[in-house]
Chains A and B, each alone.
Chain A
Amino acid sequence: MYVLAAIVSLTLLGLLLGFLLGLAGKYLKVESSPLLDAIEALLPGSQCGQCGFIGCKPAAEALANGNAPATICPPGGSALAEQLALLLGLDLDLSDVKEPELLVARVSEATCTGCTRCFKVCPTDAIVGAPKQIHAVVADACIGCKKCIDVCPTECLQMHAIEVTLRNWRWTKPVTAKAEVNTMGEALC
């Protein structure tokens, strides 16, 4: 009898609270503007905080209100700045935006203790590992947020520049002023 009473009362309580939550969700909803959504969709969404805001959403709000420049997001680089400027109708001279230097984390096998702390904080699940096993970073999924670096007790995680190979090698931008040119098409007098 008591069993039944307990189950019934808890179920009722659950249903009631759920109903109230549903109501609250409907009537107390914070309206977000379509512009805000569009900006947020452009931002990386990794909540890295490098812009000085606590996450991508506050940064998007600042952008929407005109309180932040299109160049606010360092990991996005000039590509993102250009998209933001287009979206917000801003004029933009990007000649001195620094392109983000892309880094990826790498585990040094010698000192990894398999504590799994890094594995738990990685926002993109780029770290694979199991307790007491050496962990590894999937470079393609790593976004260089450095969260794992902060939690690693043995400092065995380090950021490395992405290796340049023939596949990702690119021509550099010609320097204005006196051109130090070292390329084709240029060679003929």
Chain B
Amino acid sequence: MLSFFNPLRIRGGVHPEAHKTATANLPIVTDFPLPKKLYIPLQQHVGKPAEPLIRVGDKVLKGQLLAYSQGMISAPVHAPSSGTILDVNDYPAPHPSALPIRMIVLETDGQDTWMLAPTVNDPFQLTPEDISLRVGAAGIVGLGGATFPTAVKLNMGREAHIDLLIINGSECEPYLSCDDRQMQERAEHIIDGVRIMLHSMTTTNAVVAIEDNKPLAFLAMQKAAQSFAAITVMQIPTRYPMGWDRQLIKYLTGKEVPVGSRSSEIGVTIHNVSTALAVHKAIRYGQPLVSRVVTVSGGAILRPLNIEVPLGTLIAELFTFCEVKTDAVARIIMGGPMMGDALPHVNLPTVKATSGVLALTQSELKNTEEHPCIRCASCISVCPAGLRPLDMANNIRMNQLDAAVDIGLKDCISCGCCSYICPSNIPLVQYFKYAAGEVAARQQAQHKSEQTKRLIDARAARFKRIADQQAAEEQVRLAAKAARSHQLTTDSDTSTILGSRLAQQSEVDAH
């Protein structure tokens, strides 16, 4: 089923300079000084935000549940250290806009005392469903950056009877080396996590895919996986965006995931190596997801490192620890330089999605002086999704979004290859991100205008009903009045008058 030897399987892609050596050869720092305050967002995952169940002033232990998961697709949030809850309020989010989102502020007590979830001796005695439940309760989400709740994905894999679990160790973004280091240092734990995931999805086949620029990680993982026939560790070519799930699936299995469907529909599920490690910790030791390894790197960082960081640590503290040359910083990026988010400042917390924080100097940034398109078609040849970036950008520039959607805007994965390669420095991927947001906004506007029409119609119908009713009452009143005046003038018999009055009354009542 696996046919590995066809390089033509890779569509598009670029070879950006890796910049990984600064951090990839140093061990992960595990004694990062515990911050005084941690800022823990209630939404660090795809889906509904978690709902806090603690109050300001509460004392909590490390690993204690702070906010529970709401609804089908959501994830709980746990205390990254022991201490006191200071506040539950809006603080700037680690997002390009730095708009406020709800966070729990925890003042640490320096003890770092654990409160662990119950564990079992042999996780393979647990039912697959039980493993998913425990993974969900540990707040584990996809740590490659997608932050989709892992338990949901395990359940989907089990229900779809997948026949291959791919563990993504490609780490194709430049600068980042957190997965590389973890595979080198914690290979056995990762492989154990993979075995638990296989058990939870009731499947027997896993492939760990590692880019061939990480030979040490490959060797370590191969050694750890030796005694497990179910797990194959293999090298894949180094090329960005090799870690894109569809690219990886196509390369490893030769199958293309149909547009608009999930990979589990063709029998494959992808998880990240860090996620497998988190599963291992949760099931073996009862530790929920409260920390992660973050690459701190970039030209403006004097001491680039991989650090095991409690979630909620401010980026500013990471930069102080790694000694940043403040005046050399031209841009701060969370994630990798190709797909990460540029942040406006550093007083923002690290979250489950933070694989790296980079402080780049001006010389590391791409020249932004834009020239007209020379129609070299480089962008077309590097696009892994097989799109025509130049045409889409042209349409978007003229605000013809529907035309851009027609030629595939929705299939763009914002990988940035086209922007990277464009000799005219056209900000192609920025056009696509803008357009994607705009298309969503238009759909909402469309929805609202339909709703408006409904409201206007309902109002018109109501007015008509009221008018009709009034007209009917008026008619009855007129009829009654006419009748009464006739009787008053012609009829002197009081009993008749009384009788007719009664009749009128009942007539009115009837109406």
Contacts and interface: CB of A to CB of B under 8 A. Distances in A.
Interface in B95-154: 95-97, 99, 101
Contacts, number: 177
A78 B226 CA distance: 60
Contact of A187 (B93, B364, B402): B364
A5 to B, nearest CB: 8
B366 A188 contact: yes
Interface string A157-180: 000000011101111111011111
Contacts of A169: 95, 97, 99
A16 to B, nearest CB: 14
A187 B434 contact: no
Interface in A78-130: 78-79, 82, 86, 92-95, 97, 123-126
B321 to A, nearest CB: 23
B434 A184 contact: no
Nearest to B449: A44
A31 interface: no
Contacts of A28: none
A23 interface: no
A188 B420 contact: yes
Interface residues of A, number: 50
A120 B205 CA distance: 67
B415 to A, nearest CB: 7
B339 interface: yes
A186 B429 contact: yes
A33 B490 CA distance: 59
A183 B445 contact: no
Given A2-B483, A3-B487, A179-B368, A186 B416 contact: yes
A94 B458 CA distance: 34
Contact of A125 (B99, B459, B487): B459
Interface in B303-350: 331, 333, 335, 337-342
Contacts of B337: 184-185, 187-188
A10 B437 contact: no
B397 interface: yes
Interface string B65-97: 000000000000000000000000000010111
B479 A78 contact: no
Given A94-B399, A187-B337, A46 B456 contact: yes
A54 B101 CA distance: 44
Contacts of A95: 397-399
Nearest to B420: A188
Contacts of B368: 178-181, 186
A170 B434 contact: yes
Contact of A181 (B397, B427, B445, B459): B427
Nearest to A145: B452
A7 interface: yes
B363 A189 contact: yes
A176 B363 CA distance: 23
B334 to A, nearest CB: 9
A118 to B, nearest CB: 14
A45 B456 contact: yes
Contact of B333 (A46, A125, A178, A187): A187
Residue among A6, A95, A188 facing the most chain B CB atoms (10 A cut-off): A188
B468 to A, nearest CB: 13
Contact of A79 (B414, B427, B445, B459): B445
B244 interface: no
A124 B16 CA distance: 54
B438 interface: yes
B469 interface: no
A67 interface: no
Contact of A6 (B95, B448, B452, B479): B479
Interface in B444-458: 445-446, 448-449, 451-453, 455-456, 458
B342 A182 contact: yes
A138 to B, nearest CB: 10
Interface in B470-511: 475, 478-479, 482-483, 486-487, 490, 500, 503
Interface of B: 16-17, 93, 95-97, 99, 101, 174, 331, 333, 335, 337-342, 358, 360, 363-370, 396-402, 414-416, 419-420, 425, 427, 429-431, 433-434, 436-438, 440-442, 445-446, 448-449, 451-453, 455-456, 458-459, 475, 478-479, 482-483, 486-487, 490, 500, 503
Given A123-B456, A170-B437, 13 more contacts: A2-B487, A2-B490, A3-B503, A6-B482, A10-B475, A79-B446, A171-B430, A176-B370, A179-B370, A180-B368, A183-B430, A185-B415, A187-B364
